[in-house]
Amino acid sequence: MISEELSPVTDIDIRALAEIYDEQDVYLSVYLPVSGRENEHLNRIFVDSRFSAIKKALDPDLRSEFEKTFEMAESSVFDEPISGEKGRIIFASSKESFLHVYRLAVEPEQSFVLDTSPYLLPLAKLRADYEDYGVLLVDSREARFTCIRSDIAEEKKHLSTDLMNKHKKGGWSQMRFNHLRKGAIKSFLSEVADNVQGTCDQLQTRGFVLAGPGEAKQHLMEILPQEVQQKVLGVVDVPIDIPEDELVEAGDAVLQENEKSKSRSAAEELKSEILKGGLAVYGIEDVKASLEQARVNTLLIIKDSSVPGWLCERCQNLQSNSKPPKECERCGGPTSTVDVVEELYELAQRTGANVEFVEKEDFLDSDDVVGALLRY
């Protein structure tokens, strides 16, 4: 599956990817920022050095499998970016004849990993940072509703009214004119309000940013139905003719602030549940056990954390902070080195748990790396 157009990260079926694994290290995952000549150069150096390092560390039979996999993925790795493409994700395994290529309008950090399954943590972080949202850009005579999915903007609705033309004629006094104008603005804004509800219901976004110059957006806010008001992620002051990329930037800033406060409050909830001995656990062992019992409602992970360990791909025995033994101590199956945090994330995906990435300073104890709010 190779996409030839830009994909929002929310369109990538991460749950299906989390179901995939092999007993051996046969899945190559590549994340690259691809815009600009500079990146092209840096990517080549990075990919070459990771390719040789991995080759050196593999047994001969896996080495030739890896070379085949890379050969299969190589043209997708170094392909010219399409218009607007800023990042690319490639999952490949020649053994499984598996090749997924996603072109993104957002930038991932460089990563080149060979593992028993597609490496999903960087994708998970992108999905946390780039949820789908709407922007309603409004002034007293114009309203545009734009849907933004991973920085790909698509206008969904455009309403306008021509106040000046409607009321230009006639010998009205300034006062009468102002009065009529106010009335016209009011009725325009209530038309907008009616439309927002419908547009929001159609698009399954988390919410929308209310943007525009002057007071119109505040007036609109006041007349929005309560349930729509609750979907407003933030209000920003921008010119009505703002270029699309700047609108996306302003919207992203609001979304990221909103996301931060969401993960902060999850971290707060974890703390208070633990204090009162409620439905929460922390630390790798307890979180792992709860995930295996499908009791986790929300998995909390400290941003950019990783914990070395190993996994038995036969019985899923997962051990942290130790080197893999030749054979699994439980079932004798093959073991492989893993990032335990990635494995916990995949478990969360398979059991339908939410995931929040939290800042180190918001977490109870940064040594614990993970915590979980439980269903029961």
Binding site for Zn ion (CB under 5 A): 312, 314-315, 317, 328, 330-331, 333
Q: Which residues contact 224 (CB under 8 A, 6 or more apart)?
A: 193, 196, 232
Closest separation in Å from C-beta 345 to Zn ion: 20
With respect to Zn ion, which residue has the nearer C-beta, 327 or 365?
Answer: 327
- Cα distance between residue 297 and residue 374, in whole Å: 5
Task: Report whether 88 contacts 104 (CB < 8 A).
Answer: yes
In the complex, minimum distance from the CB of residue 69 to Zn ion, in angstroms, rounded to a whole number: 25
- Where do runs of H (alpha helix) occur along the chain? 14-18, 36-57, 60-78, 121-129, 163-166, 174-202, 216-223, 226-229, 244-275, 284-292, 340-350
What own/partner pairs with CB < 8 Å and gap ≥ 24 does 200-205 have?
A: 200/134, 200/228, 200/231, 202/156, 203/132, 203/134, 203/147, 203/156, 204/132, 205/131, 205/132, 205/133, 205/134, 205/147
Q: How far apart are CA 9 and CA 150, in angstroms?
A: 6
| CA–CA distance, 193 with 232 (Å, rounded to integer) | 12
State which residue, 131 or 346, has the beta carbon closest to Zn ion. Answer: 346
The 10 Å Cβ neighbour count of residue 279 is: 17
Cβ distance to Zn ion smaller for residue 179 or 330: 330
Q: Say if residues 352 and 19 touch (Cβ distance below 8 Å).
A: no
- Phi, psi at residue 296, to the nearest 5°? -85, 125
251: how many CB neighbours lie within 10 A of its CB? 25
As measured in angstroms, the least distance from the Cβ of 336 to Zn ion is 11
DSSP-assigned letter for residue 9: G
Of residues 242 and 311, the one with the C-beta less far from Zn ion: 311
Q: Residue 312 CB, nearest distance to Zn ion (Å)?
A: 3
Q: Whole-number minimum distance, CB 316 to Zn ion, in Å?
A: 7
Q: Whose Cβ is closer to Zn ion: residue 234's or residue 333's?
A: 333
CB of 31 to Zn ion, least distance (A): 29
Q: Please, what is the minimum distance in Å from the beta carbon of residue 319 to Zn ion?
A: 10
CA dihedral 308→10→373→108, nearest 10 degrees, is 30
We find the least distance from the C-beta atom of residue 330 to Zn ion, in angstroms, to be 5
Nearer to Zn ion, 152 or 312 (CB): 312
C-beta closer to Zn ion: residue 122 or 334:
334
Decide whether 271 or 314 has the Cβ nearer to Zn ion: 314
